[in-house]
Amino acid sequence: MNKIISFDNVNGILTCEAGCVLENLSTFVENEGFIMPLDLGAKGSCHIGGNISTNAGGLRFIRYGSLHGNVLGLEVVLADGTILDMLTTLRKDNTGYDLKHLFIGSEGSLGVVTKISVLTPAKLSSTNVAFLSCNDYTSCQKLLLAARRSLGEILSAFEFMDHHCIDLAMQHLEGVQNPLPASPYKFYVLVETTGSDESSDKTKLEAFLLRSMEDGLVADGVIAQDISQASNFWRIREGISEASVKVGAVYKYDLSITVEKLYDIVEEMRCRLGDNAEVLGYGHLGDGNLHLNIVSSKYDDNILAQIEPFVYEWTSAQRGSISAEHGLGLMKAEKIHYSKSPEAVQLMASIKKLLDPKSILNPYKVLPQSVL
């Protein structure tokens, strides 16, 4: 199940089997002058079928959007053994209901994805990365808006980290240096651009940085001068999860909240926990996606009781999502009500019963047992 079936190199449409490893697909399409529309830390081991079943997000989401927009066709095996052939390679097809979306993000509970066709964007030649610091969260938000305005079509990442993340990364990640060591700042932002014109892209990023400093949004900032410096910037952002684990115990939450309120939960959590644990806030700010990691030397039921169900109740009250990109799985199936209305959960259960009446596909996951 790991074969590439075809590649249309005029339109950048890849058709392959579900067992292909994401990184192998990336390498294949890059040789043809295209890139995969998603990129994840786990790319070396994750399968494209799993990416689709879990509606994986990742680092290119702000630029290329969700798999619901990029997947063109699927072949799926249903619970009764029927092979559902929806494997078109068309960008547009308005004949009947677009069934493939039912299988994107349903965690294998409605059918098993076996083949995929996906749109791959053209590979662009120029990438630039800047590492910036802000004195407060309001500045981070304003900086995001300014980046959308002035970097426009070349913006390809806007990641933020609070200083707790940076401190932890510096302490626990080998060979990593703080690009802005001069003084401690409250927030750090990684901005990446990807475009087709090296000199104009760099000029644009430099002008953006200069203007943001003049406007007082950015306290300090540096643009990577080579690939190794750019890798160091990304290593900090991508290493926060790894650094968290080294402390001992980590309670991880993956929340979607409107950008305006996104940092409030981090501060509230810090007040609740006091000295009992350290609270880290970081994530894909451009997508309104907060990774909230709470770290302590060892697991402690009292800490967990301070966090849950508070974190879910708070997110629910903001109409946020308690799982932005990680899915519900076994651990959060019973928590779906925090993010979905009873009517929606009921309809999901009806669809599950229609497609898998004996509940043989990934049982106990995604939906609460009470509705099945």
Query: Using CB under 8 A, which residues numbered 317 to 336 contact its own copies?
Result: 319-328, 332, 336
Minimum CB separation of residue 115 from its own copies in Å reads 13
| Residues within window 82-141 making contact with its own copies, judged by CB under 8 A | 82-86, 88-99, 101-102, 104-106, 110, 122, 124, 141
Residue 345 lies near its own copies (rule: CB under 8 A): yes
- Quote the CA–CA distance of 151 and 160 in Å, as a whole number: 17
Minimum CB separation of residue 358 from its own copies in Å reads 16
Place of tokens 């508070």: 310
| Residues within window 280-319 making contact with its own copies, judged by CB under 8 A | 284, 287-289, 319
Q: For residues 84 and 176, which CB has a smaller minimum distance to its own copies in the complex?
A: 84
Residue 55 lies near its own copies (rule: CB under 8 A): yes
Token representation of residue 4: 């590439």
- Select the residue interacting with its own copies from 41, 44, 69, 363 (CB under 8 A): 69
Place of tokens 């400093």: 213
Q: What stretch of H or E contains 190?
A: strand 187-195
* Residue 48 phi, psi (nearest 5): -60, -35
- Quote the CA–CA distance of 291 and 253 in Å, as a whole number: 6
Residue 365 lies near its own copies (rule: CB under 8 A): no
Instruction: Let me know: does 212 contact 157? Beta carbons within 8 Å.
Output: no
Minimum CB separation of residue 91 from its own copies in Å reads 5
Stretch that binds its own copies, among 61-69, 170-178, 180-188, 212-220 (CB under 8 A): 61-69
Give the list of residues 6+ apart from residue 78 with CB closer than 8 angstroms, or none.
84, 110, 111, 355, 356
Residue of 323, 361, 368, 312 lying closest to 344 (CA atoms)? 368
Question: What's the Rg (C-alpha) of the chain?
Answer: 22
Residue 54 lies near its own copies (rule: CB under 8 A): yes
- Provide the 8-state DSSP code for 121: P
Q: For residues 144 and 277, which CB has a smaller minimum distance to its own copies in the complex?
A: 144
Stretch that binds its own copies, among 5-13, 128-136, 174-182, 267-275 (CB under 8 A): 5-13
| Residues within window 194-253 making contact with its own copies, judged by CB under 8 A | 194-197, 200, 204
